[in-house]
Structure 1
Amino acid sequence: MAVSLLSFAQAIKDSTQFSKRHLLIGNGFSIALRPDIFHYGSLFSRADFSGHPNLPKVFAALGTQDFEMAIRNLEAGATLAPIYAGALPGAVKAMLDDAEALKNILVETIAGNHPDFPGSVPDPKFWACRTFLRYFLGDGNDGQVFTLNYDLLLYWALMHDDSPFTIAPSPIATNDGFGNDEDEPDADYVVWQGETAAHSAKVHFLHGALHLFDAGNELQKYTWVRTNARLVDQARSAIGANKFPLFVSEGTSTQKKAKIRHNAYLYQGFKQFTANALQTKVCFFIHGHSLAENDEHILRRLGAGRFPKLYVSLFGDPDDAGNRIIIGRAQALARGRKPSNPLALAFYDAASAKIWG
């Protein structure tokens, strides 16, 4: 069934009937800037294991594509192996060597598919992105932005200065629930302030991000302003200190949901998303997401919500095969609604949003 395609401006105008706009971002947000490096699947699928043939077997044995889990299991196995008489000579060293190699592969895979620092992106592109974000985080809307991406583009755009050629630009809400470490206020990082402070957060990385590192006793956010460190150097330093980037990249919706439920920051973002979907006077925009089944744990919250209208971006011809799938999945979300809370759908041209100018 053919659908009527709005421009982004028309979708925004139509959405003024609601009290707030919320935004869910998918990988298309990043692809629009750099399709050469952001058109990817998981980090696992891009990692080069050719020099370490046992590593794919480790992931397979553990039933995961989670780098941190594989590294921690290799290190734990090396610690325990000498206890058991059957341990082969050299096995402990091989496991530790592979654990160290996997840390380097993780760093190289992250850095090889991401700009090194904000200066890699021209200022006008950030200014255009901030214009787009104002429709959701600017004065007069008080919405929230939820991203499924773990790259740094959204974070960099939020931290970027406004164009000096714009007269009195409206501010953008940037609260993401992180603040100074009370014990180390001058540290190179800030820390997640916990569930209470998270209620006032406006930006949520639902699947984590490459600047968020699990330090065991706290979640740290490394900031460009405080470190001026390239992404590769930041990641190598943190991983070397056994702080792993917090992101959910592995496999199925069920696997992703399991990791979310076992991490306080991720689960709080998930709960915030769910709570907003249950509001009756707001609307949601989905930009740059295929509504794929591996994110069903998130999309299901929209189908079970109470908000009355969903605006979904489509890139290119609405009648091509990929867009027909997106349209069908959006319609399935709407069909799943209770009659007392129907969900209206609108589709808009992703390119017309001109996120990066």
Structure 2
Amino acid sequence: MPIIPFTDAIADSAQFSKRHLLLGNGFSIACRADIFHYGSLFAQADFSAAPQVVEVFKALGTQDFEAAIHALENAASILPAYVPADPSAVATMLDHARILKEILVQTIAKNHPHIPADIPDAKFWACRRFLANFLAGDKAGCVFTLNYDLLLYWTLMHDDMPFGQALELAKNDGFGNDEDAPDADYVVWQGETNAHSASVMFLHGALHLFDTGKELTKYTWVRKGVPLIDQAREALANNAFPLFVAEGTSVQKKTKIRHNAYLYQSFKQFTANAMQGKHCMFIFGHSLAENDDHILNRIGRGRCRKIYVGIFGDPASAWNQQIMLRAQGLAALRSERWPLDVAFYDAASAQVWGA
């Protein structure tokens, strides 16, 4: 199939009432290919400080750091009731839980810019112009991201260039002031009711969202101004874990999503928009791999009329041919009443982070 320029895809999408955007890891790679890549945090982590903890992940059947840390801490609290004569095991479990927290912090830090100033202003301005296709104007819909880095959040918080027309991007993400602490350096998720008006959703969580056990908080750069590594370390010290879906398979990811109110509400919002027959969906930076079928199949079983899939590089490459086949596979899930049209655009021509 022909690969059209991004501007042509946007022009063609004017026939629909709303444009939505689904972002994959290629969005981040396009900004900083030197640090963002497709490996999971588990695969990138250095466990040399406590190699035994790898067996904890295997025993639990997960790659979720939070699950492993909680398991170690919970086991340490009950083990004395069964093995009272061996306090060393308890001490080892607690020490390994502490080491795992530091491994998580270090892994996050080495794969992410520390502060927004690490990204040139010109990149943010270019990205805001790209996002304006989906978050401004009469076709504005929602932006959904499968990434848990902070690039999208930082871009939405960034000011436009001082010379030129400002872009009024919709950036409601369902978070607001804590009524019990309105001046706090964080905001809290307002729940399902206010989530319906959100225009930006982190489908797999994000590194600035922390589960405190009683509520989901969002650390804001504007209020907190703390580098990512310090922010994560502080939160973990207070037993607040960054909310992100780190599991490998689609089934594992969907399981975690269904067990978290914010993630599940975001998933439902994505599904609801995919069911709108007058809407269209753009996909940028995603390989349509099956480990995200829990999201992608919502499109295939939905009613939105058309998807525009970004293709980077040679369309004839095996990698891109596979993406095209996967996209056609989504169309094949449709009934005759709600056919899905598929178009492919040149991802580089979108100039998401500039030329």
Residue pair 1:209, 1:247 contacting (<8 A) in 2 also: yes
User: Counterpart of 1:210?
Assistant: 207
The structural deviation recorded for 1:86 is 7.2
After superposition, what is the alpha-carbon deviation per residue over 1:280-303, rounded to whole angstroms, capped at 9, x for unaligned? 111000000000011000000000
After superposition, what is the alpha-carbon deviation per residue over 1:23-79, rounded to whole angstroms, capped at 9, x for unaligned? 000000000011111013110000000121111000000100000000001000001
After the TM superposition, list the runs of 4 or more consecutive aligned residues in structure 1 that deviate by more than 2 angstroms. Answer: 85-89
| Residue among 68, 71, 83 paired with 2:69 | 71
After superposition, what is the alpha-carbon deviation per residue over 1:131-190, rounded to whole angstroms, capped at 9, x for unaligned? 0000000122221000000000000000000111213x3310000000000000011100
Q: How does 1:157-168 map to 2 (within 5 A)?
A: 157-167=155-165
Question: What is the SS of the residue equivalent to 2:252?
Answer: helix
**Matches of 1:103 and 1:335, distance apart in 2:** 44
TM-score (norm 1): 0.98
Question: What is the SS of the residue equivalent to 1:143?
Answer: strand
**Does 1:278 pair with 2:284?**
no
**Matches of 1:253 and 1:190, distance apart in 2:** 30
**Matches of 1:149 and 1:97, distance apart in 2:** 30
| Residue among 288, 294, 299 paired with 1:297 | 294
**Matches of 2:321 and 2:140, distance apart in 1:** 32
**Matches of 1:98 and 1:190, distance apart in 2:** 31
Amino acid at match of 1:135: N
**Matches of 2:25 and 2:202, distance apart in 1:** 13
**Does 1:139 pair with 2:140?**
no
**Does 1:124 pair with 2:129?**
no
**Matches of 1:165 and 1:231, distance apart in 2:** 30
User: Counterpart of 1:189?
Assistant: 186
User: Counterpart of 2:308?
Assistant: 311
**Matches of 1:309 and 1:28, distance apart in 2:** 21
**Matches of 1:165 and 1:134, distance apart in 2:** 17
Q: How does 1:12-27 map to 2 (within 5 A)?
A: 12-27=10-25
Residue pair 1:126, 1:157 contacting (<8 A) in 2 also: yes
Percentage of matched positions with identical amino acids: 66
Unaligned runs of 5+ in 1: none
**Does 1:62 pair with 2:40?**
no
**Matches of 2:20 and 2:140, distance apart in 1:** 9
Question: What is the SS of the residue equivalent to 2:268?
Answer: helix
Residue pair 1:81, 1:87 contacting (<8 A) in 2 also: no
Amino acid at match of 1:104: E
TM-score (norm 2): 0.99
User: Counterpart of 1:350?
Assistant: 347
Measured on the aligned residues, the alpha-carbon RMSD in Å equals 0.9
**Matches of 1:352 and 1:166, distance apart in 2:** 22
Question: What is the SS of the residue equivalent to 1:284?
Answer: strand
| Residue among 317, 321, 325 paired with 2:318 | 321
After superposition, what is the alpha-carbon deviation per residue over 1:286-337, rounded to whole angstroms, capped at 9, x for unaligned? 0000000110000000000001101000100111010011000000110110
User: Counterpart of 2:168?
Assistant: 171
Question: What is the SS of the residue equivalent to 2:31?
Answer: coil
Q: How does 1:31-70 map to 2 (within 5 A)?
A: 31-70=29-68
Residue pair 2:160, 2:167 contacting (<8 A) in 1 also: no
Amino acid at match of 2:38: Y
**Matches of 2:85 and 2:149, distance apart in 1:** 40
Count the aligned residue pairs: 354
Amino acid at match of 2:256: K
**Matches of 2:125 and 2:283, distance apart in 1:** 21
Cα separation, partners in 2 of 1:108 and 1:313, compared to 1, 3 Å: same
The structural deviation recorded for 1:249 is 1.4
